[in-house]
Amino acid sequence: MSDSAVTITITPNGPYKVEGSVDLRDAEGTPIETREDRPFFLCRCGFSTNKPFCDGTHNREEWSPALADG
Ligand code: FES
């Protein structure tokens, strides 16, 4: 794997962990700032109040990762 590779890991019962240099943008194409060289977590449950990022709410809400995974 090269240094520029992006790795997205589906965490058990939680968010998507994103590692690597990523150009993250919203629906209008506006860049969303991420912490450079540090992994970040994208909400997978839909309950975060800080979308697209996970804020830990998935731990307090009932949701099924099986539904999120299709
Ligand atoms: S996955 Fe953590 S708040 Fe949605």
pLDDT digits 0-9 by tens, 16-55: 999 999 999 999 999 999 988 899 999 999 999 999 999 9
* Domain range annotation of the chain: 1-64
Separation CA 23–CA 45 (nearest Å): 22
Give this prediction's pTM.
Answer: 0.85
List the beta bridge partners of residue 42: 16, 53
Separation CA 65–CA 68 (nearest Å): 5
**Residue 62 pLDDT greater than 90, yes or no:** no
Q: Which atom from ligand 1 is nearest to the alpha carbon of 57? A: 3
Please tell me the predicted confidence (pLDDT) of residue 63: 84
Q: Which atom from ligand 1 is nearest to the alpha carbon of 55? A: 3
Give me 41's structure tokens. 């977590």
Report how far ligand 1's centroid is from the alpha carbon of 20 (Å).
20
The CA distances from residue 30 to 8, 33, 49, 50, 52, in Å, are 21, 10, 19, 16, 13
Report how far ligand 1's centroid is from the alpha carbon of 59 (Å).
8
Please tell me the predicted confidence (pLDDT) of residue 70: 55
